[in-house]
Every structure is written in structure tokens, then in C-alpha cells.
Structure 1
Amino acid sequence: MDLKEIQSLIKFVSKSGVNEVKLEVEDFKITIKTGAGVPETTIVHQAAPVGIPQTPVAVTPSVDAVPTEVKVEDEESKYVTITSPIIGTFYRKPSPDKPNFVEVGDTIQADSVVCIVEAMKLFNEIEAEVSGKIVKVLVDEASPVEFGQPLYLVDPS
């Protein structure tokens, strides 16, 4: 495996969202680790034939290997985000047999209930706190949510 193939592999791994990949082939081992921020240095251990010393080669991913979401943020910057005020489980409907509180395209008021977050067996109704139109649902039904995690995108215009 040459340097260009290794760089291509690094780019592929960083775009895939995987945190760590280990690859072992007959003559060498490679471990690629990426984090939430800047990708870590990748160490390639090349196994050498008997009698030749083994040399580790450090490969640092190029700036191109870091995935960027600048375009997504620019498009979404005009929207207001409804975030979770508590840690718990996100539900879009009041009960399994009822319809969702809101759907994409619905117009909401500041006091509209948009979802429920269950925390410690208590079902907390979450109000929009903003008027506008629901553009996107950012969390799946019955998924765990963290404090401050975005739940919906709202177009306030």
C-alpha cells in the first residue's frame, strides 16, 4: 500500500463518521483514529522482513480529510432551533395511538406543544417558545436526548 492509497483511506474514514479503523495486511498494520474535533495522527506500522529494523511512519491527514458542514450551517442559519431543556426520551406524540404534535410544514405559535421529553417517568411537554413553520425534525421517535440538543428547526418568517 503506497502513500496515496493511505491518504485515500484516511479521507474515506473521516467522511464515513467512524471513530477508529484498524487494518492488518500481511506486511503492515494501520490504525486510523478520528475524533469530534481534529483527526488524530495516524500511525502506520510496517512489518519488515527479518533482519531489517521496523520503522513507524506517521501520517497526518490533510485538511481536506476533515469533513465540513459549512454549507449546511449557512442554509440552516436563518432557522431557529428548538432545543431540549432536559435530558430524557423524545416523543413526537402524546401516546402511541395519537397523531404527532407537529409535522414538517405545520405553523406553530410560541405556546404550542411540539413534543414530550420523558425524564424519570415524568412526561414533560415541550413548548416551541417561537412562532413559525416547522422545517425539519432533528430527532427520531423514542430516542434519548441531551440537555440543549436540537429537536426541531423552525422558520420564523
Structure 2
Amino acid sequence: MSQHVQQAPFPGVFYRRSSPEADNFVEPGADVAAGDTIGLLEVMKQFFEVKADVAGRLLSFGVEDGDVVDAGQDIAVIDAGEAGA
């Protein structure tokens, strides 16, 4: 089991979905590929995709939808050894 902690690249507001009516980009337990969008960061009314750094199974989020995050803050844990298991 090789866990990777995904961190916020810069401060902002973290969102797990593209709009209040949309489904979350990904749910805990789902497989993700490197480069898959797992959330958005809003900074000064601009939105930036947060993409998975590694492929694997997303185990958990360390922040909730709408939380303010700091640069380097842990936002998700991905098990790089579990993709497709």
C-alpha cells in the first residue's frame, strides 16, 4: 500500500464539484488516473482544476466542499497501489 497525499497547490476555496447542482468529480473509493480532476480551487473568482498527481484509489478527502485551504494543505489521500484492485 503506497499512499500519496494530494496537497493544495495554492490557497483558495476547495470545491468537490463544478456547481452546486453537479455531482462530485470523484467519490472516496473510486479509482482515479493521474491527471483526473478531483476538485476545484477558487481564487479571486477564478477556478482552477485540482488534478490527481498519481493513479490509484482515492481513499479520503481531508477537507469538505467549500472549505478554505492553505497552500500545501492535505486535501486528499490516494492509494497508488490500489487502482483497479
User: May I ask how many residue pairs the two structures share in their alignment?
Assistant: 81
1:81 is paired with a residue whose SS is strand
Moved over 2 A (4+): none
Q: State yes or no: 1:142 paired with 2:69.
A: no
- Distance in 2, Cα, partners of 1:124 & 1:131: 20
Structure 2 segments unaligned to the other structure (5+ residues): none
Q: Which amino acid aligns with 1:139?
A: V
Q: State yes or no: 1:100 paired with 2:29.
A: no
Partner of 2:52: 128
Q: Shift in Å at residue 78 of structure 1?
A: 3.6
Partner of 1:111: 35
Q: For 1:71-82, list aligned pairs within 5 A.
A: 78-82=2-6
| Percent identity (aligned) | 32
- Distance in 2, Cα, partners of 1:119 & 1:142: 12
Q: For 1:1-157, list aligned pairs within 5 A.
A: 78-157=2-81
Q: TM-score, normalised by structure 1?
A: 0.50
- Distance in 2, Cα, partners of 1:136 & 1:155: 10
Between structure 1 and structure 2, the one with the greater Rg is 1
- Distance in 2, Cα, partners of 1:121 & 1:86: 14
Q: Which has the higher contact order (CA 8 A, sep 6+)?
A: 2
Higher helix share: 1
| RMSD value, Cα | 1.1
Higher strand share: 2
Partner of 1:23: none
